Structure 1
Amino acid sequence: MSREIKFRAWDKVRKEMLQIQKHSFKTNKSIPYGWNIEHEFYDLMQYTGLKDINGKEIYEGDILEGGYLNPLTGEFISRKYIVEYEEGCFKCKLIGKSPYGDTWINFIHEKSRVIGNVYENSNLLEE
């Protein structure tokens, strides 16, 4: 199984997200699309190879909103997750308390939507 390898980076100076055209892991410098010089970024995020319910690409650092229907009450319970790369795989960390721990991104990606990322939408990290 193969997937497209793509990256994006948060430019801390300009405060904007940039799509990366080329990256050197040796020098840790990148060339964003539309630029002709290398730039050093501190927060490089990889594409997971998955898309949300609306077809939007999911990257590390994205905030997903998903949920489930409570079988006892019939109430929809909404949850927010942060996409992280840990222990060799992409995971979704629940924002807030959970007795169940982390969720595998493969389990929720088609049932959730990207609502922002940790850099541009830090207000979404609040419970």
Structure 2
Amino acid sequence: MNREIKFRGKQIDNSKWVHGDLRQVEGRCFIMDYDIGDDGITDHQRVFNIHYEVDPETVGQYTGLKDINQKDIYEGDIVQIQGHPFEGPMQINGNYEVGYNDRMELCCGSLLLHRERHYATVIGNKFENPSLLEVTNE
């Protein structure tokens, strides 16, 4: 199964988030936005040649995973784990940042994201909502 490769980043000029292909030119980061058709489906064959300069610190790649609400999960997102069946013997429920560990495993905190995605809800990201990580179970 192939994973869709896409990125998101926050525009420099207006702080809006854009999604699409990542391009780096002379130390600057750009996201090339996709045309979304009338049917609401992004089609990589219908691409507008629109590039948005984004803050490189905010760029995150799509993990290929979705939360319990079918929302895409990106690096830098904050997910809330709730209703985990092992809660009690272990403290698992809480808010976690999505990223890679030192073994390049995709994690939320120290938990493997692919195992926890069934209990995860994206509640924000570390760039706009860092306070969501202040009380955490990491």
Same-fold status (TM-score > 0.5): yes
Q: Secondary structure at the match of 1:3?
A: coil
TM-score norm. by structure 1 comes to: 0.73
Deviation for aligned residue 1:31 = 3.4
Pair 15,25 (structure 1): closer, same or farther in 2 beyond 3 Å:
closer
* 1:10 and 1:119 in contact (8 A); partners too: no
Pair 109,15 (structure 1): closer, same or farther in 2 beyond 3 Å:
same
CA distance in 1, matches of 2:81, 2:2: 26
Asked if 1:36 is matched to 2:35, the reply is: no
How many residues align? The count is: 115
Aligned-residue sequence identity (percent) comes to: 33
**RMSD, matched Cα:** 2.6
The answer for the alignment partner of 1:104 in structure 2 is 112
Within the candidate set 18, 40, 48, 2:63 is matched to 48
Where in structure 1 are there 5+ consecutive unaligned residues? Answer: 94-101
Where in structure 2 are there 5+ consecutive unaligned residues? Answer: 34-47
* 1:66 and 1:80 in contact (8 A); partners too: yes
* 2:60 and 2:74 in contact (8 A); partners too: yes
What letter matches 2:118 in structure 1? E
Deviation for aligned residue 1:122 = 2.0
TM-score norm. by structure 2 comes to: 0.68
CA distance in 2, matches of 1:77, 1:106: 15
Pair 25,123 (structure 1): closer, same or farther in 2 beyond 3 Å:
same
